[in-house]
Chains A and B, each alone.
Chain A
Amino acid sequence: MSATAPVIERIRARIGMSGPPLEATVEAGHLKRFAEAIGDPNPRWKGEASPTFLVALASPSMHLPEAEEYGRGWLNGGNRFEYLEPVKVGDRITATGRVVEVNEKTGSSGNLLFIIFETEYVNQHGRKVARVRATAIRR
């Protein structure tokens, strides 16, 4: 068993547990600043969320202080977005995330810890608008 096994076990104990729900309103100014940061001039994003906007409204990964005991830094491994309903300006969104998977893998430059989060975004009508998966890597 590696020296990092206790850290991994503590993170694994979080699997399935939801983090605190985060609530945020989709604001026109935020949509505008986000589209400008990407450099996407499509006028459509004045009134609705662009494909990756929800991650700016509420992070798709949870804060896991214990994960920082593993390795030296974070890398983003990937993101998967599933869109169920449109998200428009003025919508009140509640995001709830949970840890779904924790795996250690051996890479070319040492061991890596993969933590997969899944966050569900629900609007003010109680309708699920999107599900976002995030793969966070400690290295």
Chain B
Amino acid sequence: MNVQVGEELPELVKHPTTRQLVQYAGSSGGFYEIHYDQDYARGVELPGVILHGLLKAGFLGQLVTDWLGDRGTLKVFDVSYRGIDQPGQVYRCRGRVTRVDGNHVELEIWGEDQTGKRTTVGTATVQMNG
């Protein structure tokens, strides 16, 4: 097995748009108005519509499964949303390996806004194929 502590996952860069938020709302059933109605979002003291936390989780899931491929299985995926992200702004998904114990591998994963602030932080646990 070729995974080492400190290994960085290939960065995944996303350019979310309002169209993508509507697509995500439709396919996930997440119809809270702060994700597609600018007036509603501003009315609850947001700067405008914001990304669904779960869309950002989806991006980070892609980061992990792109890196993992068919080398193992994702067991636990845990994300906390620490800040808002808006469409029209870049969202960078990054991660690194924090622990390797036999076939058990732990990752630190995060999403950064355009200023480099980590607006989503999390961990993933994978079981590599024996």
A77 and B32 CA atoms in complex are apart in Å by 15
Q: How far is the CB of B27 from chain A (nearest CB, A)?
A: 4
Residue-wise interface mask of A (64-96) relative to B, using a CB-CB cutoff of 8 A (1 in contact, 0 not): 000000001111111111110000000000000
Is the Cβ of B81 less than 8 Å from the Cβ of A38? Answer: no
| From A36, A40, A72, A135, contact of B45 by CB (8 A) | A72
Is the Cβ of B53 less than 8 Å from the Cβ of A79? Answer: yes
List chain A residues, Cβ under 8 A from B81: 75-78
B38 touches A (CB below 8 Å)? no
A80 and B74 CA atoms in complex are apart in Å by 12
Interface residues of B (CB under 8 A from A): 14, 20, 23-24, 26-29, 32, 34, 44-45, 52-55, 57-59, 61-62, 64-66, 73-81, 122
A40 and B20 CA atoms in complex are apart in Å by 12
A50-B61, A51-B61, A83-B74 known; A59 vs B29 contact (CB < 8 Å) = yes
List chain A residues, Cβ under 8 A from B62: 38-40, 42, 50
Is the Cβ of B24 less than 8 Å from the Cβ of A79? Answer: no
Is the Cβ of B79 less than 8 Å from the Cβ of A79? Answer: yes
The contact sample of 13 A-B pairs, CB cut-off 8 A, is A36-B27, A37-B20, A44-B65, A50-B61, A50-B62, A56-B27, A59-B29, A74-B32, A75-B53, A77-B81, A78-B78, A83-B74, A135-B80
| From A33, A40, A51, contact of B77 by CB (8 A) | A51
Interface residues of A (CB under 8 A from B): 30, 33-34, 36-40, 42, 44, 50-52, 55-56, 59, 72-83, 135
A36 and B24 CA atoms in complex are apart in Å by 9
Residue of B nearest to A86 (CB): B73
List chain A residues, Cβ under 8 A from B65: 40, 42, 44, 50-51
Is the Cβ of A80 less than 8 Å from the Cβ of B52? Answer: no
A89 and B27 CA atoms in complex are apart in Å by 16
Is the Cβ of A80 less than 8 Å from the Cβ of B78? Answer: yes
